[in-house]
Amino acid sequence: MTKTKTIKINLDRNSYDIHIGENLASEIPNIISPFVKRNKIFIICDESLGSTILPKIKNSFIEAGLEIFVSFVKSGENSKSFESLEFTISELLDNGIERKDTTHVDPTQRPTKREYDHYIHLIEIAKKYFYDDKGISENSPFLVQDPLFNSILIRSNEALINLYQIIGNENQKVEFLKNKQIKSLKNMNSKLFDKGLGAYIHYDLRNNKPISLVSSSSFSPLFCGAPDKQIGEILISTLIKKFGGDDKFLCASFDPTNNRFNPKKYWRGPVWINLNWMLYNGLKRYGYNEIAKRVKDDSIELIRKEGFCEYFDPRKNISESEKIGYGGNNFSWTAALFIDFINQKM
């Protein structure tokens, strides 16, 4: 075995080793074996080494029964760029190197590969138009007006108005934002509120039609103060009727009474703590303190039972016999919002 020297680079979570020695190519499979979880190896190689050391390294992996893929980067500092990173990621995807979160998480809890391919296609369109809003909106096949993101925008502008008023001498900016708020709130209620469903819904701009389905996002306008008192009462009725059964933790991300509801799969049913936090604050804003407290208490119970998971199964009837915390573990927003919840007096 070749004598080597190992230098440890200590960078907290991103620490790594540098191995120095002669004729190391044949030893590389043994050196990295503790980190190899499957039989695919992806090598990122400086193009100047393609005809020298790379063939020896490839042969050592092949002899170890491993499948090899190689991506070349140009020599020099110019290769340390987002363009090179995007190229490398594309190479990984083209060669079937899987996302980590689809392998350490039960696939039934994640979108399918076909769905991920659709997401990647949308990202490619965004890249093509250099992430310009106008280019994306004119060319993306997916263009939806969403109550959640519009509620976040309205609430953020509300905060900006308050900040400008505290700073003072910013009347022009305050007036501009107030005019935007009036327009946004009016259009939110006239276009996205569906009285028949008793909830705010999404709108498909590509096909010029509403998406008549109820989700946790349907209640997010409470967070920004969009509903009047009458609409607020309708929202609470829908929330209790569809999402608030005694057999459910609040609030499922998708309508539990709909046949498309999936309590394990991403945004098709599980409880997300970030949405619950927004719902809790929206309910308090309107004085619905009792149901706000239930949202908070359900969130705390789920976290204390399952830990800081990415999302949670809303079904209480399985919570005693099965694990109901799904997705990634130690999710930072779950932990951060847990701290906020437990420090709320109500």
- The domains located in the chain, with CATH, are 4-97 (3.40.50.1970), 105-142 (no CATH), 144-342 (1.50.10.10)
Per-residue pLDDT, 98: 62
Closest C-alpha to 194, from 174, 217, 176, 175? 217
Q: What would the pLDDT profile of 75-120 be if each residue is shown by its tens digit?
A: 887 777 756 776 777 777 777 666 555 555 677 777 777 787 888 8
pLDDT per residue as tens digits for the range 211-224: 999 999 999 999 99
Weakest mean pLDDT among 33-42, 163-172, 328-337: 33-42
Q: What is the largest CA-CA distance in the chain?
A: 78
Supply the pTM of this predicted model. 0.72
* Residue 251 pLDDT > 90: yes
| Alpha carbon 275 to chain centroid, angstroms | 12
With a cut of 60, say whether residue 2 has pLDDT above it.
Answer: no
CA pair distance 164, 181, nearest whole angstrom? 15
- Percent of residues, the chain, with pLDDT higher than 70: 94
What pLDDT is stored for residue 103 in this prediction? Answer: 54
According to DSSP, the residues that pair with 5 across neighbouring strands are: 20
Q: What percent of the chain has pLDDT over 90?
A: 59
Q: H or E stretch including 167?
A: helix 147-167
**Looking at 77-91, 127-141, 182-196, 209-223, which range is the least confident one?**
77-91
Dist CA 339 CA 267 (whole Å): 23
User: What's the mean pLDDT when you consider all of the chain?
Assistant: 89
**Is residue 204 helix, strand or coil?**
strand
- Between CA 258 and CA 267, with CA 264 as vertex, the angle to 5 degrees is 65
Confidence class of residue 72 from pLDDT cuts 50, 70 and 90? confident
Q: Is the pLDDT of residue 13 over 80?
A: no
